[in-house]
Chains A and B, each alone.
Chain A
């Protein structure tokens, strides 16, 4: 009998094109493309007179740069317009499917991949974007790449890779009400740190992970990159198959049946070896919030901001000092009650329909605090359409939220949606780095329901106090 394997081992081995010691060539099944990290790759192809090996295996959409206000009259910003036009031109030239900015399927690349059934279990999926780890929720090996590698995949449909190590994160127990996939993800990052996963592929297992919806699993895998891991993986199950069946780009008929049979062989074998394992108990977890400028700076909403004298490590202490100065927070004081100016609900982390439902259930019948400007940016046109069908847009608009067009928006603030200097934001996005949402802007990462609660109260607040 052969050695027991992890799901990562299985996908890795089934995609090896060539192997010579450490020198491996991995086949890439799917390539998602957006406007920011691709122009130089297409330019590289042109300069060396190379073509795209498998244009049908790629799917392109503009998301990073696009305004979230009415786009019927164009993009507005000239540089952004040029970058988006360049993407469309490149796709036309090389025969790659491009979802136009006025197409209702347009949206954040990591939301449309699964929506269209372009993302499937057992595949290798790459994109010039670090949050490609999202697609691991389906049991696909998915990770971000740089622009040189985008060019490499376009030209060869492969990547030169070294195998990562296996890291198993088991999350036991059942989450309390108002404790979400976002809180699970932040608790993992808080536990292992932003470099805790470097060199590994993380496989999530355990009762709390199994009971997550597919949307929740995407949130968990999305944030895996914030723990430094190359990819996050969750073994596919009936929920996965149900989500994908009949999606436009998913296999049909006999191909579907064969695919499902194969996907059922993907879960890690009993006795498979992991290079590292941790267990987390979800049972007593509270909603979490970040206080600093790294996603590992996590505390419970009823916790206190750290004191410098409690930190032994010199580099860590000076990093915390820098963070607290930047965030303008008082060491040792409670995080609850810190006043905010903005709320952002959206992004590839939390811009799916379930996230909007979760936030709307908190907001319903209430008003956004008069000190707060709050916005909801659906992750895709289809998410927006579904939300409108369910009347969620009305709930948000009546409460005083802005209801926007889909895109990455204030997660990275490349378009007009950004924080002004010193503004403080409760955000459902993925990074609280210095300047991430706008120069000198201050970001607190939270779940959609926690962001909604902060919008209502005008400060960081425990959502359980609003809903109970």
Chain B
């Protein structure tokens, strides 16, 4: 996995409109992020072009101009800002794969669905939880296409002379910063697994699968 220390880029904000009121789009689900017709692949790569497919293209496959990721400079966005409960629904890791393949490496939202949140860290994407009030401070600058810097080492979002701190779990941070392979580090602890299995086999034989 690629190491994540700091990135600089444009931030795109997902907004909903009701009358003249714009607000952060909530409950963006993984079916929206990558619709099921793209899950037939047996690879991880190449999904970026289908990110938000049904919001991004019309029935004939033409780009819908008003959609944020179709508008310059947001076609090159590296940061995505959205409303609460981002990534709810299906566990499909195709969602973070498509986000990453598009070029987005940071998602800022008030809250994330559990499975999606975990999936992000396995793919070198940083999901940042910020309160809705704090996110609203970022929206104007994002819409103007001003460059954001997200510094994971110092846990800061930097926009011009503004700095906004964010929290991240220490283990998750370490994983991203070092670009660690989870499986590799677990296998280094395989003696614990061996020991656990030995005890389990002795005391809880019923836990072993019965071969049909």
Contacts and interface: CB of A to CB of B under 8 A. Distances in A.
- Chain A complexes with chain B: yes
A180 interface: no
A314 B23 contact: yes
A30 interface: yes
A401 to B, nearest CB: 24
B60 interface: no
A83 B183 CA distance: 24
B127 interface: no
Contacts of B43: 39-40, 43
Nearest to B115: A144
9 contacts: A18-B192, A97-B211, A145-B115, A146-B122, A155-B187, A314-B18, A412-B36, A414-B36, A431-B31
Interface stretch (A246-254, A333-341, A362-370): A246-254
Interface of B: 16-18, 21-27, 29, 31-32, 35-37, 39-44, 54, 59, 83-85, 88-93, 96, 111-115, 118-119, 122-123, 132, 169-171, 182-183, 186-187, 189-190, 192-193, 196-197, 200, 204-212
A249 B209 contact: yes
A17 B39 contact: no
A259 interface: yes
Nearest to A231: B114
A36 interface: yes
Contacts of B193: 17, 25, 27, 53, 156-158
Among all A-B residue pairs, the 7 with the closest Cβ atoms: A148-B122, A318-B18, A259-B206, A39-B42, A318-B16, A146-B119, A146-B93
Interface in A404-427: 412-414, 421
B171 A436 contact: no
A57 interface: yes
> Which of B39, B183, B204 has most chain A Cβ within 10 Å?
B183
A138 interface: no
B89 A29 contact: no
A152 B115 contact: no
Given A30-B209, A155-B187, A321-B16, A435 B32 contact: yes
Nearest to A18: B192
A80 B37 CA distance: 10
Interface stretch (A167-175, A192-200, A205-213): A192-200
A22 B171 contact: yes
A319 B169 contact: no
A interface, how many residues as a size bin?
35 or more
Nearest to A413: B36
Given A25-B189, A130-B91, A156-B183, A65 B40 contact: yes
A116 B31 contact: no
A151 interface: yes
Contacts of A259: 206
Interface of A: 17-18, 22-23, 25, 27, 29-30, 36-37, 39-40, 43, 48, 50, 53, 56-57, 64-65, 77, 79-80, 82-83, 86, 97, 116-118, 120, 122-123, 128-130, 143-149, 151-152, 155-158, 160, 162, 194-195, 198-199, 228-230, 248-252, 255-256, 258-259, 262, 294, 308, 314-322, 412-414, 421, 431, 433-436, 439
Given A48-B183, A152-B183, A258-B206, A194 B36 contact: no
B209 A151 contact: no
Nearest to B29: A433
A25 B23 contact: no
B119 A148 contact: yes
Contact of B54 (A82, A97, A435): A435
